[in-house]
């Protein structure tokens, strides 16, 4: 009797894990103002390096992103900041995390950042707090555009599909930051 009870508990626990694993990730959409409120730092800069590595126990792979800071709009300006995100590729092992960002050395970005242990930072709102900076070739003026979140789909409040999101227009970097940091 006792072993059958343990077996039933193990089966129920396994089913609970499977149900949780099968459910889709849902990300609460944050406005730039909400991200600015939650963020310790809001900076623009250039990605200087991207490196994936195992944690000390070799149970997780992380990616470290080094960013050279050009401007700090919120928080203390630092010459360099280190970001950390779960997932990456080390040797023949690749760990993919839904919604994780792809980074390229040399790309110019605007970042809304939350503290991460060890003096590092993570992007606010999972991946919503990263904006690529585009420069107008003729004027040099900087613009941002919200990146698409791979593997996600917009939903109505009732859970039904909301259709395809419209492309977000380019907005001048200074205007975007000003609106995000504005106090109501």
Q: What is the pLDDT of residues 148-181, one digit of tens each?
A: 555 555 666 666 666 555 556 789 999 999 999 9
User: For the domain 26-181, what is the CATH code?
Assistant: 2.40.50.120
Q: Residue 69 pairs with which residues in a beta bridge? A: 45
Encode pLDDT of 84-119 as tens digits: 999 999 999 999 988 789 999 999 999 999 999 999
Check: CB of residue 115 under 8 Å from CB of residue 168.
Answer: no
Interval 121-135: pLDDT, tens: 999 988 889 999 999
Bridge partner list, 130: 111
**Predicted pLDDT at 98:** 83
């Amino acid at each position: 009797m006792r072993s059958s009870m343990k077996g039933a508990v193990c089966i129920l626990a396994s089913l609970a894990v499977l149900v949780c694993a099968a459910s889709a990730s849902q990300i609460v959409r944050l406005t730039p103002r909400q991200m600015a409120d939650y963020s310790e730092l809001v900076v623009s800069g250039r990605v200087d390096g991207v490196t994936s590595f195992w944690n000390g126990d070799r149970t997780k792979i992380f990616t470290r992103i080094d960013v050279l800071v050009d401007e700090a709009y919120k928080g203390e300006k630092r010459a360099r900041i280190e970001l950390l995100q779960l997932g990456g590729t080390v040797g023949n092992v690749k760990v993919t995390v839904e919604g994780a960002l792809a980074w390229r050395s040399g790309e110019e970005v605007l970042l809304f950042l939350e503290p991460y242990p060890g003096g590092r930072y993570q992007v606010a709102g999972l991946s919503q707090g990263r904006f690529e900076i585009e420069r107008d070739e003729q004027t040099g003026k900087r613009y941002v555009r919200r990146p698409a979140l791979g593997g996600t789909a917009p939903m109505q409040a009732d859970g039904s599909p909301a259709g395809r999101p419209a492309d977000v227009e380019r907005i001048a970097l200074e205007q975007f930051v000003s609106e995000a940091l504005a106090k109501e």
